[in-house]
Amino acid sequence: MEKEITIRSLALNNIRKKPWRTTALIVLIALSGAVLFASLLLTSSIRDGLAGLQNRIGADLMIVPEGFETQMESVLLSGEPNYFYLDKSIEDAVRAVPGVEKVTSQFYLTSLSESCCDFPIQIIGFDPSTDFIVKNWARKKLSEIDGAGEVILAGSNINTEKNKVTFFANAHKVTARLAKSGTGMDSVIYADITTLQKIFDDAKQKGFGFISDGDTKTKASVIFVKLADGVKPDSTTARIKGAVSGVQVIQSGRFVSGLMESISSFSVFLYAGSVLVILITVLTLAIVFSLSINERLREFSILRVLGADAKKLCSIVFTEAAILGAGGAVSGIFISALVFLPFNYAISQKINMPFVLSGVGQILLFALLTFAVLVAACLASAVYSALKVSNHEVYEGLR
């Protein structure tokens, strides 16, 4: 029984006849697809990370010693161990400023490498009685944490053994794990101030030390401020600076918006690169299709004599382009996902920005968008060749 000749079979047959050319084109299209898919996924994950950072901060203002804004940003963004201190009495002074609704402080303790763990780790002390930030991200109810006695909260990136962490040969039970935020706060240990002081004293007795101070009673590293409804951060910032000297007030809204501007610039660069790669792909495919058509004019003339009209000849050209586009797009998306998804944590560490991997639904949406863009680009690159075939004189091609 003879096999029926269809537009699809003719297109596939031509693609198989030129394996090296076909492979080169699919590789080029796959490169475009990989770049576009990775760009979409990376920018989306960073934006989700920024949203997580804004929610995790949970305060309108952050007060640090003057000149330590950069160090504070490093703690928030990458969890990089840092230490800096101001007088804890400032907390009471800030609480008395009009417009301030809630105030809480945190104390940063930085370990000396192997003295407690396999790597330097940031241990942050907080006051559960005034805290309105850390406990909101715990995976246990607030009531369970408030009555826990020793409170240890572990970031989502901290590895624990049997739900315990060990500091200087002393094991501490983890009260709760914190939900993932995609920020540096996923890589720190939070402990109530009493427990933090105990950890410091244990280290001192065993001859170990910390880079930072251990005076948790009179010092704090950062003071977080929640403003009352309708109160403007600018005016309150001015009042705080008037009441307290030697401090720097960071407005979390401006901090996050500044990061958003940086991400926008970064996104433009990524998308511009993707567009450039796609344009190069379209131009290359257009040239290759045009040269291919010149070689196959006799073939198309024979098909025309056998009854194929101009529309069918155009369909053959577009089908070839669509098959190449689909094959290349799927390959590029697969390769990009193979690199991006398993190593997303390593990527987030390298870019030093808040990073939350997009959900499955969003990833599939980006994959479909990339597929559609690449197939459409391949079809666009075949337009000139299709017009050339449809306008070709039959007898001229048979000579």
What local confidence, expressed as pLDDT, does residue 335 receive?
92
Q: Give the single-character DSSP code of 180.
A: P
What local confidence, expressed as pLDDT, does residue 115 receive?
44
Phi and psi angles of residue 102, each rounded to the nearest 5 degrees, phi first: -135, 145
Residue for token pair 């053994």:
161
Q: What is the pLDDT of residues 132-161, one digit of tens each?
A: 888 888 776 655 555 557 888 888 777 777
d(CA 45, CA 353): 10
CB neighbour class for 139 (10 Å; exposed up to 12, middle 13-18, buried from 19)? exposed
Instruction: Please name the residues in contact with 124: beta carbons below 8 A apart, sequence gap of 6 or more.
Output: 106, 107, 108, 109, 188, 189, 190, 191, 221
pLDDT higher for 40 or 77? 40
What local confidence, expressed as pLDDT, does residue 197 receive?
83
Q: Which residues pair with 173 in a beta bridge?
A: 164
User: Is the separation of the CB atoms in 46 and 354 below 8 Å?
Assistant: yes
Band of the pLDDT at 359, cuts 50, 70, 90? Answer: confident
Q: Which helix (H) or strand (E) holds 190?
A: strand 188-192
In total, the chain counts a number of residues equal to 399
Torsion on CA atoms 361, 364, 369, 372, rounded to nearest 10: -140
Q: What type of residue is 272? A: A
Count CB atoms within 10 A of the CB of residue 306: 8
What local confidence, expressed as pLDDT, does residue 113 receive?
44
Please measure the distance between the N-terminal and C-terminal CA atoms of the chain and give it in whole angstroms.
33
Enter the tokens of residue 226.
């929640």
Write down the mean pLDDT value for the chain. 78
What is the edge-to-edge ordering of all strands in the sheet holding 152-154? 176-177, 152-154, 188-192, 122-126, 100-110, 222-227, 61-65, 247-251
What local confidence, expressed as pLDDT, does residue 333 receive?
93
pLDDT average, residue stretch 157-169: 76
The two most distant CA atoms of the chain are separated, in Å, by 99
What local confidence, expressed as pLDDT, does residue 315 receive?
75
Q: What is the pLDDT of residues 193-218, one digit of tens each?
A: 888 888 877 777 766 655 555 677 88
Q: What is the pLDDT of residues 230-273, one digit of tens each?
A: 888 888 888 888 888 888 888 887 777 777 777 777 778 878 88
Q: Which residues pair with 220 in a beta bridge?
A: 86
What local confidence, expressed as pLDDT, does residue 369 receive?
92
pTM for the model: 0.70
Band of the pLDDT at 331, cuts 50, 70, 90? Answer: very high
Choose among 325, 347, 357, 379: nearest CA to 33. 325
d(CA 248, CA 370): 45
What local confidence, expressed as pLDDT, does residue 366 receive?
92
* Sequence ranges of the domains in the chain: 7-52+259-398, 67-245
Enter the tokens of residue 185.
């706060």
Band of the pLDDT at 3, cuts 50, 70, 90? Answer: low
Q: What is the pLDDT of residues 102-139, one digit of tens each?
A: 999 999 877 544 444 545 677 888 988 888 888 888 77
Band of the pLDDT at 334, cuts 50, 70, 90? Answer: very high
Mean pLDDT is lowest, of 108-122, 170-184, 330-344, for 108-122
What local confidence, expressed as pLDDT, does residue 11 receive?
65
pLDDT of 229 over the 70 cut:
yes
* CA geometry: angle 146, 90, 186, nearest 5 deg: 45
Percent of the chain with pLDDT over 90: 8
pLDDT higher for 119 or 290? 290
